[in-house]
Amino acid sequence: MMIDFLERASGKQRSRMAAVDQFSFLFQGLNRNLRAVEEVLAIIGLLYVSKSAFALTWKVLQGFRTHVLARARRLDLNKYGKWAVVTGGTDGIGKAYARELARRGLNIIIISRSKEKLDKTAKEIEDEFKVQTFVIQADFSKGREIYEDIERQLKDKEIGILINNVGCMYEYPQCFMNVPEQKLWDLININIASVTMMTYIVIPQMIQRKKGIIVNMSSISSFNPLPLMAVYSASKVYVDWFSRALSYEYKDEGVIVQSLVPSYIATSLVRFSSLLQRPSFLVPDPERFVRSAICTLGVADRTTGFWSHGLQYWMYELTPISLWYRISWFMQKSIDNHDRQDKDKHT
């Protein structure tokens, strides 16, 4: 009996030891698997951090190249052609482009709707920079009917540079249904149709000569949908995507197509806000912006044109879309409210 009892006890002990050994082996196996998973996750994490670090470094280098090094090079714009065309060239950014290009020795063609402003601006440029000027009176809000006459007047001109600058914006930030119908048509005809048709008129001769520059004025508002500026924002998306597609289509034809995506600039376009009409390092005046943007030609096919706007764009890239909607809504409301408060003080 005692022998049987001892044998049974010994068997149970061996069973318990076997169970312990099995658990130990299982634990060791799980531990090895967990370590393998940890190593894989560590590699993934390292790759992600490396990718993020590389992307950040690349953006910094690109920004330095675009906004700093580009200023040091000698930029000869006369080699592209004798004439530069600037739409909306009697005010703001357009006038600043016309003057800067004239300063660099190009003859200037200005297209705008006010004959009085056209003649005045042309005379100023001729007197100051001793170049030829040519003016075309055209109201881009009229749509298709104006382009046949523009094409006829540009026919014999060797156009090296086209600045598609003309544009319009809301009178002030507002919801879509509150925007007057005429303003909606103006946004389509001026912001979208003008860029398309002016490019259509000018680009054939550039391709024929295998050289030319087209600058299309988009906006940083094209980065994401912009509440209270819905149609304006959407029109600038068109300009940006159109420009980027053409840049690829004609890069082997010697034609540079640049999409400019600046933030706010102190012009009459933002007359709805006295805050935005005050030049600062965030909101440059047109002359300062153009001097910066023109240096990026041939360096960046898509750029904000100004260093602080580049920082703003980078911040937008890091902003989740849900947060973007809230911030942009608050910003547009704040701009509008600030302006209304200023008006109340002066009444």
List pLDDT tens digits, range 65-85. Answer: 787 777 888 889 999 999 999
**pLDDT average, residue stretch 272-300:** 86
67 within some domain: no
Task: Give pLDDT, residue 94.
Answer: 96
> Length of the chain, please?
347
Q: How many domains does the chain have?
A: 1
State which of 20-29, 38-47, 129-138, 326-335 shows the largest mean pLDDT: 129-138
Q: Is the pLDDT of residue 14 over 60?
A: no
Q: Is the pLDDT of residue 208 over 50?
A: yes
Better-scored residue on pLDDT, 282 or 236: 236
**pLDDT average, residue stretch 247-255:** 96
Task: Give pLDDT, residue 344.
Answer: 43
Q: Is the pLDDT of residue 30 over 70?
A: no
The predicted-structure confidence for 140-199, as pLDDT tens digits, reads as follows 999 999 999 999 999 999 999 999 999 999 988 889 999 999 999 999 999 999 999 999
Task: Give pLDDT, residue 15.
Answer: 55
CA gap 130, 127 in Å, rounded:
6
274 within some domain: yes
pLDDT > 90 in the chain, percent: 58
50 within some domain: no
Whose tokens are 């909101």? That residue is 283
Task: Give pLDDT, residue 266.
Answer: 85
314 within some domain: yes
Task: Give pLDDT, residue 72.
Answer: 80
Better-scored residue on pLDDT, 13 or 158: 158
Task: Give pLDDT, residue 112.
Answer: 97
Asked whether the beta carbons of 83 and 160 are under 8 A apart, the reply is yes
Task: Give pLDDT, residue 31.
Answer: 64
pLDDT band at residue 346, thresholds of 50, 70 and 90?
A: very low
Task: Give pLDDT, residue 77.
Answer: 95
57 within some domain: no
Task: Give pLDDT, residue 342.
Answer: 47
Q: Is the pLDDT of residue 36 over 90?
A: no
Q: With a threshold of 0.85, does the pTM exceed it?
A: no
Better-scored residue on pLDDT, 47 or 211: 211
42 within some domain: no
pLDDT band at residue 333, thresholds of 50, 70 and 90?
A: confident
- Which strands sit side by side in the sheet containing 255-260, from one edge to the other? 133-137, 107-112, 83-87, 159-164, 212-217, 255-260, 302-303
The lowest-confidence range among 15-19, 36-40, 125-129, 256-260 is 15-19
Task: Give pLDDT, residue 66.
Answer: 81
128 within some domain: yes
Task: Spot the catalytic one: 232, 238, 264, 313.
Answer: 232
Q: Is the pLDDT of residue 12 over 60?
A: no
Q: Is the pLDDT of residue 4 over 80?
A: no
17 within some domain: no
Q: Is 232 a catalytic residue?
A: yes
* Structural domain for 90, as ranges: 77-341
**pLDDT average, residue stretch 40-59:** 74
Average pLDDT of the residues of the chain:
85
pLDDT band at residue 334, thresholds of 50, 70 and 90?
A: confident
- Half-sphere exposure (CA, 13 Å, Cβ side) for 199? 26
**pLDDT average, residue stretch 124-150:** 97
Task: Give pLDDT, residue 345.
Answer: 45
Tell me the CATH number at 223.
3.40.50.720
Q: Is the pLDDT of residue 1 over 70?
A: no
